[in-house]
Every structure is written in structure tokens, then in C-alpha cells.
Amino acid sequence: MTKDQGSRERHNPRPIYVGVDVGASRTKAVVMDRERRLLGRAVRKSGTDFSESSRLCVETSLEMAGASESDIVNAVSTGYGRKNVACATDTRTEIGCHARGCYLAFPMAITIIDIGGQDNKIIKLDAEGRRTGFKMNRKCAAGTGAFLEEMSPRLDVPLEEMNGLAMQSTDMVKLGSFCTVFSATEVLQNIRVGKHVTDIVKGLFFSVIKRVLEMDSLTENVVMTGGVVAHNPYLVEMTEEAIGRRIWVPEYPQLTGAIGAALYAMQE
Amino acid sequence: MPDEKKVVLRRLQSAKDLGKFMAEYYYELDEAAKNGKRKIAWCTSVGPAELLRALGFLVYFPETHSAMLGSTRMATDLIPKANAIGYSPDICSYLTADIGAYLEGISPLAKVFKGIEGPPRPDVLVYNTNQCRDVQDWFEWYGTEYGVPVVGVQTYRNVGEVTDDHIISIKKQMEALVEPLEKIAGVRFEREKLQEAVRLSRKCSDLWKEVLDTASAVPSPITFFDGTTLMGAAVVGRGTQKANDVYNILLEELNDRIAKNEGAIEEEGYRLYWDGMPVWGRLRMHAELFAGLKTNVLASTYCNSWIFSALDPAAPFTSMARAYTELFIVRSDEYKEKYIREMLEFFKCDGILYHDAKTCPNNTNCRYGMPQRLQDETGIPSVTIHGDLNDLRLLSDEQTKTNVEAFIEQLEERR
């Protein structure tokens, strides 16, 4: 904590810390107190104005926490739009923030799989929460939320219904292609031969899992986070089946980056 | 709003001397191409330049032209022109950018050097496939286009220990170049002239090594990004006294910086090794990115590739064969790992960055498990960025930035 920050904390009856994660698809904000309790949270579309979406997110999460801007001791931002957050005094990478956020929920050696709207990350932490390595997906949308977003209109299925449909599958379609565009062709081919939408959607989910699992090896304890996981919990079940062991999911998988940013705000 | 800190890069004064050297080099070639008084040979950057100099050729290196196409960010628009005539976007983007530029009739030389319209017309093209097969395809295309001979040396690949058999084979191939080159040059080969070229080339190599080795000082007086442009003289000028003169000046300045404890960047918190090609169109951006993170990328496999310590004027052909076979790029992964381990130790590196260059597999060393093996052996962590030497369509600046920043955060956590 800086001297300035310490002074602000002492003079503030209700000191709070803010973390903002401006992702390619959604902006997330959290408000936490010194005891690392989550007091407020908000998620909204990032849209085309990152400053405005982050401002609105912070406003909503402050309201939820029953706090005001003057209560903020410090704020840190992360994500693609991290430089556009007005209240932030510093930035950290999504990788660092997801690591912090996950370690708060699961303080042990973990491998984090974060499936975001635009990119995937695999982050490895040791028992003390220090990063030992990380990987991001290559310059390709395969295996990211963008892949499911691309496929949803092709199947004429709203994104939010995909999880339920995948769960109903009885005969999953296998999609072989690495590439999003080629996968779309495979999907069209499966529609043409009369495969059920439920089986195709499950095939899409499995494609996401395959892309992620080929990025890196996993250690014993695996945590999954990110918006895609938050909205498609069946994806976690499928991944558990694929790797043959339990996967940990934090209470708010979409907010781990923002929580990590708030934790950095406390530290700084 | 988080502050965007302005990064100031510390320029080396002697870079101006290097610039002057490069200008004179290109003007001499241009004049020869126009008046026809000297024969011009095009040569691959680690090809047998000494033999060409001994036969009186002026030597032009198309790879340097391609690097200029990259650094001026002209390449990305030119690559598709070569793709359209059958050269895949997946092959060497030096080749595709250069052929694209030829097809369009444009050149960065014309922008930089007044009066020069483009590369000098060749009388012969001479390659060594020690870098890759692409250089041969590249040169053969020009051979057909200009209607001039193309000759070369076929290398070995994935070489562990360099044996006498390797050397004898490459030496014979080099000796076999003499006769056709004599005919084109119109002069008789003289061993003494080759010995002199090899002597000068070895001196250049030794000086360049000394320049790069200054990076072992803490703080380092030089960055990898400096090195990628300063190496121009080692590439195009080895075998000439002028190149050696430029490096003597540079070395003096670097040693002066070391004496004053002056680093190449304002604050050197972390020291990194770069493996693979530079991203030519992002040199400045990357230099500023790392300097802003108090990190000096100070050593590389790439810049070290123009060190030819085996060159020996007493045995010119044998030593050329050895020098051009001992190159990192020609060697087995086992050798490469050992080499990088030694470099990490010598340059006191905290981490290693691998550039996975989409169109340059031969200069990309992170595709067969090497980062994991080296990290297990040394405990030194690594990060991989995906990009390309010339084709800017193959990279994401934002993703590179996030990867690099996250890597430095990781180093901070572990310190």
C-alpha cells in the first residue's frame, strides 16, 4: 500500500477497492473491502466505448455496494480496454488478474483455464500463488467465445440457449477442423445430413474443449473461469469428463479478472 | 486514467557511421549496375561472400532488401503480389515481399537513397541453403527473370557434431563454384585474394562478436533492437576493411558506455534473450514496449548468426566450409539447446522470448518442445509470441503486448 493510499484508507469511513476488467466482449467491475469481501459487481457489454462501459459498470457496482466514488481508495483495470478506465490508477494484465482472482478462491497450486470472448489463457500457479507459466491462444478464434458467437447464428440458436441444448445431446457430432471457418463448413454439412442441433452444439462445445486442452498440459488441480464458463456450465462438466477429474469453478467465474484487479488495487 | 509513460530510447552515435557505410555500399552497387564497370553478384546472407569478393564482384544481399521492406512496413502490401503468382503466403515472407516488390517495381532503396531506383541488376546469383530451401527458390526466380546463372551450395541440415565428411562435401561444392564464377567475372581466381577476403571477414566477425558480447555487461550498453540494424555491416560488408572500421567505432562507443555504467535503456530491471527473427515492422514498437517495462532484450540467436569464428585465411575453403556449416540454423536441436543455455548464462538473462515466426520455420525454435526442455534444465522461464518477420497480417500487437507484460509481471513475482 502506498503512503497516499494508506492516508486515504484511514480518512475514509468505508474504504473500498475497485477492479475493472474491460474484455473484448464484456466489461466487468467489482467493489471489494479491505477484508477482500465482494460488495458490488456488474457486467455489461463492452461495446465500442470502453470508457463509458467501464464507467457504467463501476457506477452499478458502487450502487450495489452502497458506496460512492469518494469511498474508492484505489482502482486497477485489466483487459483489452484497461487503458480506458477513468477511475483506475494502474493497469495489470488479464493473466496476472485472473491468477490473483483464482488464487483467492482456491489458495493452492492450480492450473487456470480461462475461456474469454476473444482469447483463452492457461495459467499455472504454484502453492504460493506465484505464476510459473502461462499460455494464450494463438492468433485464431478457435476455442474462444468468439467461436461460439460465430456458430450461434449459423445454427439459428441464441447464444444463451446453447448450454441447455448441448445437455440434451444423445449422439454428439464430432467436428475435426481446427479453423473456425472450416468448422462452420462442417456444421453446414451436418445440418444437411440431418443431424440434431443438440448434437451439433455439443460437438461445438467439445471443439472448444479440444482447442483449450491442446494449448498446454494441466497440473493436478484445475480451475475454469471466464464468461464462456459462466454462461455454459455444461462445458465444465464436459471438460471434467475429458480430463477425468474434478474441476474447480469460482462463485463468479466471469469476475475473476476484475476481482484480481481489485486485489492488485489493495496491494498497490 | 492510468498514465501512459513516454519512453525515450537512447540512440548510439555510431549508428550514424553505420548509416553512412550502408549508403556508400548501396551507391557503389548502383553505380556499378549503371555503368557496368564492376560485376555484381547477389548472395544469400550467409553465403560464400568471401569467394565473390576475391573474384572482384560487388556483392548484393537480397535479404537485407527484404528486411528493409519489413522495417518500412512496405512488405505486407507486396507479399500478396507474389502469392498471386504461386508463392504461398505460408513460405518465407522475405521471398514473397522481395518478389512482390520486384513485380510492383518499387523498393525502399528508392525512398532512402536519392537517385537509386532499386536493387542492382545481377550478373550471377549465388546461394547457400544453410538457412533454408527458400533462398534457392527465391534466387532461381530472379535467375529466370534476369536471364543470369544461379549457382549454389547445398547444405546439410540438423547437424549435431560437424564432421570432416560435412566439411569435405561443402568445401568441394564451394571449390566447384570457382570455374563458373571465373567465367562470369572475367578474371582468374587467385588464392591470395580469397585469403585476404577471409582474413577481413574473420576480423569483421571477431569485431561483431565483441560488439554483441558487450551486452554481458550490467547494465548492457546495447539492445537486441540496436543489434538488428547495426548488424548491417556484418551482413553486407564482411570481407571489406570499411565494415571493420565501422565496428571499431561502434565498439569504442559501447565500451565507453560500459565504463560510464550507462545502459542502453534508462532502467534495466530485467534481462531477456530473444530467439528467432525480429518483427521488422515492429522494431521501434517492441524496443519501446520493453524499455517501458524496464526490460532489456539484449542478446539473440539472430544477431549472433553473423559470427564466423572458424574462418581462417590459411585454409580459406576448408574454413569457409566449416564456418558456414557451424551456423546455429544448420544444427540439431541438441546443439541449439546447449548453445542457448550457454548464452543465457553468459548474458545473465532472466528470461527468454521465442518469436514463433509463421513463415520462417528454420529460424523458429519453439515448435519442438525446446522452451519446456530449456526451462526444466535452467529454471529460466520463457514466453512465446506469435508473429512474423515481414507479414504484419500474421500478428496481433495487443496479444504480443499482453504476453510480454504478463511475462514481466511473472518475473517480478518471482524476484
A140 against B72, higher pLDDT: B72
Interface pTM (ipTM) of the complex? 0.85
Q: Which residue has the cell 476455442?
A: A143
What pLDDT digit, counting tens, does each position of B271-293 carry?
A: 999 999 999 999 999 999 999 99
**3-class SS string, chain B:** CCCCCCCCCCCCCCHHHHHHHHHHHHHHHHHHHHHCCCCEEEECCCCCHHHHHHCCCEEECHHHHHHHHHHCCCHHHHHHHHHCCCCCCCCCHHHHHHHHHHHHCCCHHHHHCCCCCCCCCCCEEEEECCCCCHHHHHHHHHHHHHCCCEEEECCCCCECCCCHHHHHHHHHHHHHHHHHHHHHHCCCCCHHHHHHHHHHHHHHHHHHHHHHHHHHCCCCCCCHHHHHHHCHHHHHCCCCHHHHHHHHHHHHHHHHHHHCCCCCCCCCCEEEEEECCCCHHHHHHHHHHHHHCCEEEEEECCHHHHCCCCCCCCCHHHHHHHHCCCCHHHECHHHHHHHHHHHHHHCCCCEEEEEEECCCHHHCCCCCCHHHHHHHHHCCCEEEEEECCCCHHHCCHHHHHHHHHHHHHHHHHHC
Report strand pairing: B150-153 vs B124-128. Answer: parallel
* Mean residue pLDDT across chain B: 96
Nearest by CB: B405 against A77, A93, A131: A93
d(CA A2, CA A268): 6
Q: Is A177 on the interface with B (CB under 8 A)?
A: no
- Give residue A5's pLDDT band: very low, low, confident or very high (50, 70, 90): low
What pLDDT digit, counting tens, does each position of B352-387 carry?
A: 999 999 999 999 999 999 999 999 999 999 999 999
Q: Is A84 on the interface with B (CB under 8 A)?
A: yes
Between chain A and chain B, how many beta carbons pairs sit less than 8 Å apart?
A: 53
Q: Is B165 on the interface with A (CB under 8 A)?
A: no
Whether residue A4 has pLDDT greater than 80: no
pLDDT of residue A2: 59
- Given an 8 Å threshold on Cβ–Cβ distance, is B2 in contact with A139? no
Of all residues in chain A, the one with the smallest CA distance to B393 is: A139
Task: Quote the minimal CA–CA distance from B38 to chain A in Å.
Answer: 47
d(CA B388, CA B276): 10
Q: Is A88 on the interface with B (CB under 8 A)?
A: yes
Q: How many CA atoms lie within 13 A of B188 on its CB side?
A: 3
Report strand pairing: B351-357 vs B382-387. Answer: parallel
pLDDT of residue B180: 98
User: Which of A202-216, B51-65, B142-156, B335-349 bottoms out in mean pLDDT, i.e. has the lowest?
Assistant: A202-216
- Given an 8 Å threshold on Cβ–Cβ distance, is A95 in contact with B375? no
Nearest by CB: A136 against B395, B399, B413: B399
Distances (CA, A) of B36 to A119, B31, B361: 56, 8, 38
Q: Please give the share of chain A, as a percent, with pLDDT higher than 90.
A: 73
Q: Where in chain A is the domain with CATH 3.30.420.40?
A: 3-95+256-267, 109-249
d(CA B170, CA A38): 69
Terminal Cα distance for chain B, rounded: 28
What pLDDT digit, counting tens, does each position of B29-84 carry?
A: 999 999 999 999 999 999 999 999 999 999 999 999 999 999 999 999 999 999 99
pLDDT of residue A25: 87
pLDDT of residue A6: 65
User: Which of A117-121, B29-33, B400-404 bottoms out in mean pLDDT, i.e. has the lowest?
Assistant: A117-121
Q: Which residues of A touch B375 (CB under 8 A)?
A: 133
- Given an 8 Å threshold on Cβ–Cβ distance, is A119 in contact with B399? yes
- Give residue B95's pLDDT band: very low, low, confident or very high (50, 70, 90): very high
d(CA B360, CA B299): 20
Q: Which residues contact B374 (CB under 8 A, 6 or more apart)?
A: B337, B340, B341, B344, B352, B380, B382
- Give residue A10's pLDDT band: very low, low, confident or very high (50, 70, 90): low
- Given an 8 Å threshold on Cβ–Cβ distance, is B413 in contact with A131? yes
- Give residue A175's pLDDT band: very low, low, confident or very high (50, 70, 90): confident
Whether residue A9 has pLDDT greater than 70: no
What pLDDT digit, counting tens, does each position of B112-160 carry?
A: 999 999 999 999 999 999 999 999 999 999 999 999 999 999 999 999 9
What CATH number belongs to A3-95+256-267?
3.30.420.40
Whether residue A3 has pLDDT greater than 70: no
Neighbours of B136 (CB within 10 A): 19
- Given an 8 Å threshold on Cβ–Cβ distance, is B402 in contact with A136? yes
Given CATH 3.30.420.40, say whether it is the number of domain A109-249: yes
* Mean residue pLDDT across chain A: 91
pLDDT of residue B318: 98
Nearest by CB: A83 against B2, B386, B403: B2
Neighbours of A48 (CB within 10 A): 7
Q: Which residues of B touch A138 (CB under 8 A)?
A: 386
Q: Is A85 on the interface with B (CB under 8 A)?
A: yes
Nearest 5 degrees, angle CA B43-CA B44-CA B48?
A: 65
pLDDT of residue B9: 85
**For an interface test with B, which of A76, A131, A263, A264 has the most B Cβ atoms less than 10 Å from its Cβ?**
A131
- Given an 8 Å threshold on Cβ–Cβ distance, is A85 in contact with B375? no
What pLDDT digit, counting tens, does each position of B193-252 carry?
A: 999 999 999 999 999 999 999 999 999 999 999 999 999 999 999 889 999 999 999 999
What pLDDT digit, counting tens, does each position of A254-265 carry?
A: 999 999 999 999
Closest CA to B221 of B252, B246, B249, B258: B258
d(CA B216, CA B286): 21
pLDDT of residue B323: 96
